[in-house]
Structure 1
């Protein structure tokens, strides 16, 4: 026993040093050394980054959930986010392609090509964003009504949707820049940009929603103004770090000149990745419509509130799984195939531990959590039931996210695209429709279909991962 104290102190010292290195974003070679250490160096800032992204949603939900027309406001925020998931899908798909290619070039010790690829990805993303954002601004009310919103609720929420779509290019840049930083192994910059953006949002939300001094109360519209402004400040921070020449990536203006060959290579990886996320996000839009149809405005508000809570817990797990994408990409680039596979398995073990903890918290604390975000009894009851049902699949979600990121990090974006298509559109949606409409379970039928489908998707992903096609992909 006399040696126990020095041993404990040594262990704490190593943990503190690792945490300090992870948060500082110190340069590291992830193609050698301890795999657990590599996972943690990447996962810690990635989890904190995604935690901040999820806080964006909860801050808005908290303040708009206490407005006078709270059911309209919560529904508008939720439905707008559901539509924006199409833009998120494009951003995530191209960001994933950028992460894969940048990571592969970094593994090959070619930072110049890595930087060029990242800038070409930004050109592609902004072009696609322009095509979708303009109609979103013009037809905001019609989109909300198509999603199942009542006419009154749609009119109330139109300014919120227009501001959000108008600033969607900021969301696109936030995703793309962070994907580039993660591919280069500098997850700390990505984390800090989200922290800065979120702190600004937390300060601006109550001011712009409720008013302060000479600043009028903009209500729900103020939430969109605050979030857009906060994200813009985060993007400015990213831009500074990308162009200051201090990181592994050295960016110059000439990298933004369109390069047909690099654009072609990016599109080859990005197109299935975008489709992969579009397939998933469109399925969520369909589910939102079924809930709105069977549960009305309050049922929709309860479902959207539960999804916000779910994403608050899930996004850090997505950040954790992002470590697998970087490690797979860089290790395949260095021809360390066995190490790439072991990195995925190690990341999955961490994910299971985290998601088990979150599942227990969600089951036990669903009621008090929802009372904090809404004062509507019916909305609260629906949201509580949804959280408890959705949490049953958390462990499957965690493993599935790691495997999807592993495929994407390897540049094998086609495999998860097919898995999502069969899992969401040929299984989850028909199951949700059957349970909700045919068996008359209403919104509960949708809640049940989600964890069942996610479990099936995860099992399919495990089988495909073991087959190993992802090890042979060239990018």
Structure 2
């Protein structure tokens, strides 16, 4: 419909005067802001200017009806009814903290990197803390049942290493592919890769479950369990291995959420699973109230129930409530090309995780030559260090998501900057923890033991390993950045080189040839992880990871 001439003239006059007023106001605001320090997460967009721009749109809409709503005033992009731009968010500190825990729907390929890292890292750090609670809670309650019960849990946990390796491998493939599709704004592609990752995880977990249920007693004997342990622990092992699908799905669904930028959902999933496990463990183990007294088997029942509820919640969020992509019928159709791409990432990531984790077995063999007290002290030191490094894993996962999404958005420079910034934050944080451990190594070790020789080994180990915390923080971010880019081969080669070619031989030489005993192993760990960080930084700067297609 053609507008009458007087209305057109009035519209032009209003637009001209409003534009002049907005320009003058924006100039005044920019001059004022030059004298003020903005917050860490502040955006360059002025709220006043944004409000005036909306006034323009409303005035013009009232003058010319629906036609004016299609206009692009002063280059302001027309967004859909449900989309929000960076300027629509409240970036005050408290608002950002609440957003991190509630879940953010921002586009992480835009806006300040510090804000993006914070919003992703906070829930991911909390997720890692909850992940560590699973192992601690079961052992805490089972310890009341005696040494045989602890042995059952410990030996079965060794078998679960294979489950964790497969779950981590598929999870890395899921994060890399989903984050890349999200960055490309290909929601359908992200949904398809998510579904196929779930297919892959189900097939792998079913195969491991069949082996675990049938061969549990034989596996216990293979790992050196005594006859009584095999008799009492076979059912526990069958339940844990037979129900491994909830472990795999927990890893996998959370990896999909992280890749999509929904880190808060992954955090809530583990909060739910852990809370239930903490409540149900004593009920099923000791038979409180009307609950049956199942002993060590009760720990498996409680863990499986807790994880199953967590998986149910995660599945609901993914299939019915997720805002990043909508799952439709066509996304469930099997595409072998997607399977091929996922497998090419996941099997290498599984190998990478296996190489790194198995190296600790080699170090334990070296320490074992100096007696049980050395082994006990080494175990205490390593457990404390691993727990302290969990926040670093959260920050590293944030870097992985940012790399994948920004590569998908063809923003390679932003992807690289996000990694270095996350590495900087991680290095500072881990250095602070390392300083605390160096100063308080003995008091911390006393929490776990009062035996003089064990205490000495534990305190010395904690102190020596803490010298390298700066490098640990940097190295973990860089390794996850490679994985987030889909370059799973590079960290696999680096793990093989550093841990098996350098670390284990060095530990043996320092321990036996130089007479440092267990202290030689501690120094080998510190030097190896420092070397890994330096070599990773050199390789990362070459930038070949930017060219990987997933």
TM-score, structure 2 normalization: 0.76
Q: Residue 59 of structure 1 aligns with which residue?
A: 137
**Structure 1, gaps ≥5 residues long:** 1-5
Q: Residue 183 of structure 1 aligns with which residue?
A: 259
Deviations 1:31-90 (A, max 9, x none): 111010011111111111111111222223433445532xx5555544543442332122
Query: Residues 127-276 of structure 1: matches in 2 within 5 Å?
Result: 127-140=203-216, 143=219, 158-252=234-328, 254-276=330-352
State the 1:279 CA deviation. Answer: 1.3
Q: 1:364 to 1:212 in 2, by over 3 A?
A: farther
Q: Residue 361 of structure 2 aligns with which residue?
A: 285
Q: Residue 96 of structure 1 aligns with which residue?
A: 172
Match of 2:126 among 38, 48, 51: 48
Q: Name the stretch that deviates more: 103-112 or 254-263.
A: 254-263
Where relative contact order (Cα < 8 A, 6+ residues apart) is larger, the structure is: 1
Tell me, in whole angstroms, the C-alpha distance in 1 between the residues paired with 2:312 and 2:254. 12
Deviations 1:148-194 (A, max 9, x none): 66676666655543332222211110111011111111101011101
Tell me, in whole angstroms, the C-alpha distance in 2 between the residues paired with 1:110 and 1:258. 18
Match of 1:315 among 390, 393, 396: 390
* Aligned residues of 1:317 and 1:398 also touching (Cα < 8 A): yes
* Aligned residues of 2:482 and 2:488 also touching (Cα < 8 A): yes
Q: Residue 85 of structure 1 aligns with which residue?
A: 161
State the 1:402 CA deviation. Answer: 0.3
Tell me, in whole angstroms, the C-alpha distance in 2 between the residues paired with 1:153 and 1:368. 35
State the 1:360 CA deviation. Answer: 3.0
Deviations 1:338-395 (A, max 9, x none): 1111100110111112212322333344555555556877766654444334333322
Q: Residue 424 of structure 1 aligns with which residue?
A: 499
Tell me, in whole angstroms, the C-alpha distance in 1 between the residues paired with 2:145 and 2:438. 28
Matched, 1:105 2:181: yes
Match of 1:35 among 85, 88, 113: 113
* Aligned residues of 2:377 and 2:457 also touching (Cα < 8 A): yes
* Aligned residues of 1:62 and 1:372 also touching (Cα < 8 A): no
Task: Count residues in correspondence.
Answer: 466
Q: Residue 415 of structure 1 aligns with which residue?
A: 490
Q: Residue 438 of structure 2 aligns with which residue?
A: 363
* Aligned residues of 2:183 and 2:405 also touching (Cα < 8 A): yes
Tell me, in whole angstroms, the C-alpha distance in 2 between the residues paired with 1:204 and 1:169. 20
Tell me, in whole angstroms, the C-alpha distance in 1 between the residues paired with 2:517 and 2:508. 9
Deviations 1:113-133 (A, max 9, x none): 101101111111222233334
Superposition CA RMSD, Å? 3.1
Q: Residue 405 of structure 1 aligns with which residue?
A: 480
Q: 1:150 to 1:332 in 2, by over 3 A?
A: same
Deviations 1:1-27 (A, max 9, x none): xxxxx999x999811111111111121
**Structure 2, gaps ≥5 residues long:** 1-36, 43-89
Q: Residue 3 of structure 1 aligns with which residue?
A: none
Q: Residue 468 of structure 2 aligns with which residue?
A: 393
TM-score, structure 1 normalization: 0.87
Tell me, in whole angstroms, the C-alpha distance in 2 between the residues paired with 1:374 and 1:225. 30
Tell me, in whole angstroms, the C-alpha distance in 1 between the residues paired with 2:221 and 2:442. 30
Q: 1:315 to 1:442 in 2, by over 3 A?
A: same
Local SS of the residue matching 2:308: helix
Matched, 1:332 2:407: yes
Tell me, in whole angstroms, the C-alpha distance in 2 between the residues paired with 1:429 and 1:199. 38
State the 1:94 CA deviation. Answer: 1.4
State the 1:105 CA deviation. Answer: 0.6
Match of 1:16 among 56, 71, 94: 94
Local SS of the residue matching 1:109: coil
Tell me, in whole angstroms, the C-alpha distance in 2 between the residues paired with 1:375 and 1:286. 27
Tell me, in whole angstroms, the C-alpha distance in 1 between the residues paired with 2:337 and 2:434. 46
Tell me, in whole angstroms, the C-alpha distance in 1 between the residues paired with 2:256 and 2:98. 22
Tell me, in whole angstroms, the C-alpha distance in 2 between the residues paired with 1:300 and 1:73. 20
Q: 1:147 to 1:276 in 2, by over 3 A?
A: same
Tell me, in whole angstroms, the C-alpha distance in 1 between the residues paired with 2:209 and 2:306. 19
